[in-house]
Structure 1
Amino acid sequence: MTLLAQTAGTTLVMLMATDVWQRVRDGVTQLWRRTQPERADTVAAELEAGREDVLAAVAAGDQETLDELTLQWQGSVRQLLVARPAAAGELRALLDRLDPDGSAVRRITQRATASGQGRVYQAGRDQHIAER
């Protein structure tokens, strides 16, 4: 359940700044309407506000805000799944429709510091080093 909530929160935030935004908003709102109808309007408003925050953060290169929004949505989804465990299947299906190849959650962040004679080698995939 925790992994699904993490994946969902990350996917939602990453897709808020894309051209599938309306499908994201509609799909998530419909999920809440079916599982927790009393919260659906609030979630819809939070999605709209979140999108504005995501767009501003992306434009400013503000990764900290994106991380905070991701954590917020992970928490919201986790709360939904705790209250309505049966919603997990529907959530997985929604994520598969919105992000079929999983590209929204494949994000790599690397930071490294080298000093003196130190070297840093980083790769997001395969790396081959042939020093002589």
Structure 2
Amino acid sequence: MDPELTALAQSAGTTLVTLMAADAWQRTRDGFTHLWRRMQPERAETVAAELEASREDVLAASAADDQQTLDELRLQWQGSVRRLIVARPAAVAELRRLLDELDPDGAVARRITQHATASGHARVYQAGRDQHIAER
């Protein structure tokens, strides 16, 4: 798959899951449901139910600080969006418009959370983007 479309699906999954726990949830749910209704009407009701179930999971995971579940949900929705845009290339433009509306400056999709633990003589290297380490 085209790397640009992969990045779009990743951005959509991250934005969607992040906004599931935000005040913008209703608008987000309606936008994604509308997208599926236009592109894959036969799946729209199923997707709407999955969005609601995922939101409940996001709220529970957020309350429990369960980062693994949140990561799994992001991946789940990235996959769903990726499959939609592969099956219906016309969805790409509409998805971009939706993401621009929901996250105009891209801040939600760029949100990065990192956790690390080191013990003994271990080292931890973390980066939000590229990282180059030149140790010997």
TM over 0.5: yes
SS of 2:107's equivalent in the other structure is: coil
Question: Which structure has the larger Rg over C-alpha atoms?
Answer: 1
2:9 is the alignment partner of 1:5: yes
Report how far residue 8 of structure 1 moved: 0.4
Give the structure 1 partner of residue 81 of structure 2.
77
Count of residues paired in the alignment = 123
2:11 is the alignment partner of 1:17: no
- Code of the aligned partner of 2:120: S
Which stretch of structure 1 is more off in the superposition, 93-102 or 15-24? 93-102
Give the structure 2 partner of residue 28 of structure 1.
32
SS of 1:66's equivalent in the other structure is: helix
Q: Give unmatched runs, 5+ long, in structure 2.
A: 129-136
Report how far residue 86 of structure 1 moved: 1.3
The 1:119–1:2 alpha-carbon spacing in structure 2 relative to 1, beyond 3 Å, is: closer
Give the structure 1 partner of residue 116 of structure 2.
111
**Alignment TM-score, normalising by the size of structure 2:** 0.83
Preserved contact between residue 8 and residue 77 of structure 1 (Cα < 8 Å): yes
Preserved contact between residue 8 and residue 95 of structure 1 (Cα < 8 Å): yes
SS of 1:74's equivalent in the other structure is: helix
**Alignment TM-score, normalising by the size of structure 1:** 0.85
Report how far residue 109 of structure 1 moved: 1.1
Q: Give unmatched runs, 5+ long, in structure 1.
A: 125-132
Give the structure 1 partner of residue 100 of structure 2.
96
Instruction: Tell me, in whole angstroms, the C-alpha distance in 2 between the residues paired with 1:36 and 1:121.
Output: 42
Give the structure 1 partner of residue 133 of structure 2.
none
Preserved contact between residue 17 and residue 54 of structure 1 (Cα < 8 Å): yes
- Code of the aligned partner of 2:85: L
- Code of the aligned partner of 1:111: A
Alpha carbon RMSD of aligned pairs, Å? 1.9
Preserved contact between residue 114 and residue 126 of structure 2 (Cα < 8 Å): no
- Runs of 4+ residues deviating >6 angstroms: 118-124
Instruction: Tell me, in whole angstroms, the C-alpha distance in 2 between the residues paired with 1:31 and 1:123.
Output: 34
SS of 1:107's equivalent in the other structure is: coil
- Code of the aligned partner of 2:15: T
